[in-house]
Structure 1
Amino acid sequence: MAQTFETVGVVGLGTMGAGIAEVFARSGRRVIGVEADDVALERGRGHLERSTGRAVAKGKLTEDAQREILGRVTLTTSRADLADADLVIEAIPEIMEFKRVLFADLDRVCKPSAVLATNTSSLSVTAIAAGTSRPGRVIGMHFFNPAPVMKLVEVIHTVVTDDGLADDIAALARSLGKTPITAGDRAGFVVNRLLLGYLNHACVLLEAGVAGRDDIDAAMKLGVGLPMGPFTLLDLIGLDTSYEVCEVLFRETRDRRHAPAPVLRELVTAGLLGRKTGRGFYSYGEVAPATPEARQAASVSTVGIVGGGPEAATLATAVERAGFKPVVAESADLTPVGDADVVLALSDRPVVELAVRLPHPERLAGLHLVGDGVAEVASTVLTSPETTAAVHDLVQILDRTPVMCGDRAEFVVNALLYAYLNDAVRMLESGYASAGDIDTGMRLGCGYPAGPLEMLDAIGLEAVRDGLRALYAEYREPAFAPVPLLDQLVTAGVRSIREYAG
């Protein structure tokens, strides 16, 4: 029979811990909140009162319901008060030594049947459990901030977790109105392992000069439909937090994809941690500059388009409607576009090899259309500044947002997206999380429009596999090599990784 966990202890009443305490109190359970001293305890009380007070102000709670919720929470500075708790969750800072000391003390204080849970977002649950006499009763229960609002809970089991305990904790999460996903004990679990690899990769592209901060953010927000761009999100999370999670991931994987980008280290060392310090990748509190109006590309009359198929035909129609003369050429014969004022090579791969075949190579730029609203503009080493500016303006005239980038494999969107999808396949292949849990984790934990394996199926396994091969050929980065499972599925003609995974 599943455990009911009627009395729950929460150690650490910062924003996250107080939120967890509120979630349990809302479910009708008795909660014992523990802090280190009276000052911290009053701060925790304030978190609880303000959070529930906001719910009252929004009409989501009555004042009577608020009083009932707060009445179920007992606040104390004594861990001895946790002696009869059925479950204790810690929400203290992400420092392993602090957590090990705390769990050793909880192991001494709590009854033998009590479950000890950590809310860590990335540290080893196994290492925490090893310092207790009950490693089978220690588990990860990772809530997302703000806990009263976010629906996702990651349930982390170890190789020594008691049989059935992960299922009991998942059932508990569902009783709280949450959606649990279950994963093995790997650094970063599901969400942070996938998210931080992607965010760190964006920093690497920025440092390499592939594209600018604003262009990368626009590409992923407007082109892929993510809630925000990677640098906006890094500033929101906190660059110090992001840096530490990357360090944890790198220590376990030794994968260069997880080694914190130097620019991240530099900003953290300088104390520029994002929104909480007023400056990170962006500066906050400053008036944003006015967005310049699109110029009319006055120097352009004829627009050459290199590429075939429906995309080239659609682009040619749009160019003509905008008042320019389109000339289309297949890549095998570039003669028709030789004298065009600008030449757009439809591609997501480097286009400099096309440029050198033109009488005016400085007039060619790569163009990759992303969704309905973004166009990546890739300038080669031969592209003139005048051409780059003209294509930028032309893209705006065509009602798309231009993303300016270098002539590198997969440009920006696919370079970031395909590597992230490859990480998700690697996670699935390792067997420590299911396809459904991986997708659910990224949708609910990050607000993504679809999970990574859903995205992979929508784009096509072969297209992603081939894009990863191009990335690997360009960068020689082992993490970009297609995961064997992806390669094998494409070879076998499998079209849906989710159907394969069941």
Structure 2
Amino acid sequence: MTGAFETVGVVGLGTMGAGIAEVFALAGLAVIGVEADLAALERGRGHLEGSTAKAVAKGRLGEAERAEILARVSFTTSLEDLAGADLVIEAIPEVMEFKRALFTDLDRICKPSTVLATNTSSLSVTEIAVTTTRPGRVVGMHFFNPAPVMKLVEVVRTVITEDGLAEEVADLARRLGKTPVTVGDRAGFVVNRLLLTYLNHAAVLLENGLADRDGIDAAMRLGVGLPMGPFALLDLIGLDTSYEVMCVLFQESRDRRHAPAPILRELVTAGLLGRKSGGGFYRGEQPAGPLSTSKPSVGSVAVLGEDGDGFADKLSAAGFKSAAAADADVVVALSRTPVIELAAGLAHPERLVGLHLVGDRIAEVASTVLTSPEAARAAEGLVRIAGRTPVLCRDRAEFVVDALLYPYLNDAVRMYDSGYAAIEDIDAAMKLGCGYPSGPFEMLDELGLETVRDGLRALYAEYREPSLAPAPLLDQLVTAGVRSIRDLP
């Protein structure tokens, strides 16, 4: 029963731990904050005071409410002061040896009924739990940063968690004003398992030369509506943190898609950790914005492919002459698939550029091995004149957006099919934990199962990565004519 949780200990008062302490205190619980020494304790107190002061300045808290929150939190450097706590949650560094040692101490100090929780984002909760004499009373309670603002909490149960305990902790999360998602003990849980795999995949495609950093970021931000592109987000998370999570995922799954991209290792080794170190994928500069729409120096354009009339009309209105493919200065082929076969059949294959329109803001500009640099630059300018942001890429299966999006959706289907988490929970986790406009299954419904399945088949045929093959459930749903995974009995 959530009423049993009235006094909570928080061990580790960095930005995350102090935020967690604030969340519990805001909900009316007594909080005991613990740090290793007096200097760290004062920093933790400063985090809490600063965060609540900002909340007052933004109108989220009143001064009296802030004073009540601060009064509910006591500070100590002694773990022994947690002896009477009903719940203790740790937010110390993501090092298994540190966490196991801490839980051994907490097990000795805390009363037998105390629930011990870890805020780990990816480490095995089971491995932590078995260091105690109460493994059934150990759970994961993964908050997201900043904890006072983010609504998601991943509640992680293990195979030895006591019956009903995960539900009690989930109820406590609701009492805190959070949305809990209860999952099993798999590396990365829901959010990091899906998110970091997608981010790592973006780094692999960058290394493979599919497109450049700014193009990939723009494609996912403007084409899919994500809050940030993958490289800007990696810099925000921290490349060292991302690398460590990928190592944990790979250690568990041995899936090559979970092997950290070499560029991540290289940047981390060089000390380029993202925003916190002053440089990562971006080194002082911000993601590029729209460039000028200077008119390309071409006189005639041929637009091929389905749905090309609207694009051709915009070019015509801008003063470009329409011509046959054999005579045009630039040939633009609107296509969802690679265009090299089309180029090879033209009298001037160097003039052909593939174009994949994504939403109403992005156009992927695909150069084949035969495309001249002049034709690619001209197509880039034509796209800008047509009112879209160009993303220059190579002529590969699914280009950029779909090459990143479809495997992410496939991972979500596999996660659901394994029984790990429910559709609604996976969707909620990605929306609340990452700020995505839609969950993966909402995206599947919008795009269509067959479209995604066929795209994955093309990716598998191109890259021969086993994890890019459509999940068996996805294949079966399309074969059976099921329109939405939600229609399953």
TM-score band, normalised by the shorter chain?
Answer: over 0.9
The residue type paired with residue 112 of structure 2 is P
- The alpha carbon displacement at 1:4 in A equals 3.2
Asked if 1:456 corresponds to 2:437, the answer is: no
**Which moved further from structure 2: 146-155 or 338-347?**
338-347
CA contact (8 A) 1:4 1:172 kept: no
The alignment partner of 2:154 has SS state of: strand
Give the one of 466, 482, 487 matched to 1:478.
466
Distance 1:82 1:202 in 2: 44
Distance 1:152 1:300 in 2: 54
Distance 2:372 2:286 in 1: 32
The alignment partner of 2:308 has SS state of: helix
CA contact (8 A) 2:294 2:381 kept: yes
**Where do 5+ consecutive residues of structure 2 fail to align?**
none
**Which moved further from structure 2: 56-65 or 21-30?**
56-65
- The alpha carbon displacement at 1:81 in A equals 0.8
The alignment partner of 2:366 has SS state of: strand
Closer, same or farther: CA 290–177 of 1 in aligned 2, 3 Å: closer
The alignment partner of 1:442 has SS state of: helix
**Which moved further from structure 2: 372-381 or 288-297?**
288-297
Distance 1:151 1:429 in 2: 26
Q: What is the correspondence of 1:10-409 to structure 2 with a 5 Å cutoff?
A: 10-284=10-284, 292-301=291-300, 303-308=301-306, 311-326=307-322, 336-409=324-397
The residue type paired with residue 119 of structure 1 is N
- The alpha carbon displacement at 1:289 in A equals 8.2
CA contact (8 A) 1:34 1:78 kept: yes
The alignment partner of 1:337 has SS state of: coil
The residue type paired with residue 67 of structure 2 is R
The alignment partner of 1:61 has SS state of: coil
**Where do 5+ consecutive residues of structure 1 fail to align?**
328-335
Distance 2:371 2:217 in 1: 24
**Which moved further from structure 2: 288-297 or 367-376?**
288-297
Q: Residues 411-435 of structure 1: CA distance to partner in whole angstroms, max 9, x if unpaired?
A: 0000000011011111111111110
- The alpha carbon displacement at 1:288 in A equals 8.4
Distance 1:105 1:242 in 2: 29
CA contact (8 A) 2:5 2:87 kept: yes
TM norm structure 1: 0.95
Distance 1:381 1:288 in 2: 28
- The alpha carbon displacement at 1:497 in A equals 1.2
Distance 1:271 1:125 in 2: 29
Closer, same or farther: CA 450–95 of 1 in aligned 2, 3 Å: same
CA contact (8 A) 2:12 2:92 kept: yes
Closer, same or farther: CA 288–354 of 1 in aligned 2, 3 Å: closer
- The alpha carbon displacement at 1:314 in A equals 2.3
The alignment partner of 2:4 has SS state of: coil
The alignment partner of 2:28 has SS state of: coil
Distance 1:484 1:373 in 2: 33
Distance 2:51 2:266 in 1: 35
The residue type paired with residue 192 of structure 1 is N
The alignment partner of 2:9 has SS state of: strand
Q: Residues 175-213 of structure 1: CA distance to partner in whole angstroms, max 9, x if unpaired?
A: 111111111110000000000000000000110000000
- The alpha carbon displacement at 1:144 in A equals 0.2
Distance 1:140 1:432 in 2: 15
- The alpha carbon displacement at 1:316 in A equals 2.6
> Could you say which residue in structure 2 is the equivalent of 1:331?
none
- The alpha carbon displacement at 1:287 in A equals 8.3
Distance 1:69 1:193 in 2: 34
- The alpha carbon displacement at 1:306 in A equals 2.2
CA contact (8 A) 2:299 2:321 kept: no
- The alpha carbon displacement at 1:318 in A equals 2.4
Asked if 1:427 corresponds to 2:402, the answer is: no
- The alpha carbon displacement at 1:292 in A equals 4.3
CA contact (8 A) 2:298 2:330 kept: no
CA contact (8 A) 1:300 1:390 kept: no
Closer, same or farther: CA 176–2 of 1 in aligned 2, 3 Å: closer
The residue type paired with residue 328 of structure 2 is A
Q: Residues 109-165 of structure 1: CA distance to partner in whole angstroms, max 9, x if unpaired?
A: 111111000000000001110111111110000000000000010011111111111
- The alpha carbon displacement at 1:457 in A equals 1.0
Q: Residues 217-264 of structure 1: CA distance to partner in whole angstroms, max 9, x if unpaired?
A: 000001110001000000000000000000000000101111110111
Distance 1:56 1:228 in 2: 28
Distance 1:415 1:241 in 2: 24
Closer, same or farther: CA 499–373 of 1 in aligned 2, 3 Å: same
Asked if 1:491 corresponds to 2:479, the answer is: yes
Closer, same or farther: CA 169–305 of 1 in aligned 2, 3 Å: same
The residue type paired with residue 303 of structure 2 is I
Distance 1:229 1:498 in 2: 29
- The alpha carbon displacement at 1:317 in A equals 2.5
> Could you say which residue in structure 2 is the equivalent of 1:414?
402
The residue type paired with residue 107 of structure 1 is D
Distance 2:176 2:102 in 1: 25
> Could you say which residue in structure 1 is the equivalent of 2:453?
465
Pairwise CA RMSD: 1.4
CA contact (8 A) 1:3 1:168 kept: no
Distance 1:92 1:272 in 2: 23
The residue type paired with residue 321 of structure 1 is A
The residue type paired with residue 197 of structure 1 is T
Closer, same or farther: CA 199–191 of 1 in aligned 2, 3 Å: same
The residue type paired with residue 362 of structure 1 is E
**Which moved further from structure 2: 122-131 or 342-351?**
342-351
**Which moved further from structure 2: 438-447 or 291-300?**
291-300
The residue type paired with residue 319 of structure 2 is G
The residue type paired with residue 225 of structure 2 is G
The residue type paired with residue 240 of structure 1 is D
CA contact (8 A) 2:123 2:187 kept: yes
